[in-house]
């Protein structure tokens, strides 16, 4: 089975540029999560969707960050304009949320973002 | 405010011995706890979980213990193997947060052959 697929794996860009990270969740999963990993704060949840609807975006750092999920098989996380402090590894995860039981989240391999 | 804390950034253990990774939490509403394992350049993978109605859950070499009164959980790996060398994240969820997970900062475990 294909896991969560993220692209690109690495992104290096200059400050001020727009950055778009992409994620394809596992087929059949109805919840999708975007995380950011840094040394200081570990894994932080930025936003999550259920059935393509944003449920909680309280972790999005500021208005420069936006996320969309136009359909069940695709999501984007956009940073515009990017800043050096946005440099981190960004993970996408998905899960199959059912009312009657709890399912673990499955993570992609991440996008390592470097803003110069 | 870090609601899930892993106070040991790193741990080294001899192969064959027991590895014990610790995690503390502050939110008494947390009712489900998980451990994830992460290798370099890969995403975290789910390892083992425990509900707050239990105090122990075992899966092969891995056992998670939960002490609700102390707001503390631990992961025991026995015997430790070289392939266990990775970063381990503790995570927690509460019944009001839907599927939201709060992660700790991770502990890097190194198994010495």
Interface contact B102-A45, CB threshold 8 A = yes
Interface contact B99-A106, CB threshold 8 A = no
Q: List pLDDT tens digits, range B58-104.
A: 999 999 999 999 999 999 999 999 999 999 999 998 876 667 899 99
CA B43 – CA B19 distance, rounded (Å): 22
Chain B residues close to A109, C-beta within 8 Å:
41-43
Question: Would you call B56 an interface residue with chain A, using a CB distance cutoff of 8 Å?
Answer: no
Question: Per-residue confidence at A73, pLDDT binned at 50, 70, 90?
Answer: very high
Chain B residues close to A7, C-beta within 8 Å:
none
**pLDDT at residue A97 above 80?**
no
* Secondary structure in 3-state letters for B16-54: CCCEEEEEEECCCCCCEEEEEEECCCCCCEEEEEEECCC
Q: List pLDDT tens digits, range B38-64.
A: 999 999 999 999 999 999 999 999 999
CA A106 – CA A94 distance, rounded (Å): 5
Interface contact A42-B103, CB threshold 8 A = yes
Residue A34: which of A51, A21, A24, A48 has the closest Cα? A48
């Amino acid at each position: 089975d294909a896991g969560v697929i993220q692209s690109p794996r690495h992104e290096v860009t200059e400050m001020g540029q727009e950055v778009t990270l992409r994620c394809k969740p596992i087929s059949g999963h109805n919840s999708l999560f975007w995380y950011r990993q840094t040394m200081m704060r570990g894994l932080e949840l930025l936003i999550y969707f259920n059935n393509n609807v944003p449920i909680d975006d309280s972790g999005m750092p500021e208005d420069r960050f936006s996320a969309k999920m136009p359909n069940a098989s695709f999501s984007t996380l956009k940073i515009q304009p990017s800043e050096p402090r946005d440099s981190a590894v960004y993970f996408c995860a998905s899960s199959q949320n059912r009312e009657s039981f709890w399912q673990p989240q499955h993570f992609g391999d991440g996008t390592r973002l470097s803003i110069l | 405010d870090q609601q899930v804390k892993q106070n040991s950034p790193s741990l080294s253990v001899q192969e064959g011995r027991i590895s014990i990774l610790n995690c503390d939490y502050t939110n008494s509403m947390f009712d489900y706890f998980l451990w994830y394992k992460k290798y370099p350049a890969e995403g975290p993978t789910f390892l083992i979980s425990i509900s707050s109605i239990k105090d122990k859950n075992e899966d092969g070499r891995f056992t998670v213990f939960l002490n609700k009164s102390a707001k503390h959980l631990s992961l025991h790996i026995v015997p430790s193997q070289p392939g266990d060398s990775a970063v381990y994240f503790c995570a927690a969820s509460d019944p009001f947060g839907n599927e939201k997970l709060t992660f700790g900062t991770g502990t890097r475990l190194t198994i010495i052959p």
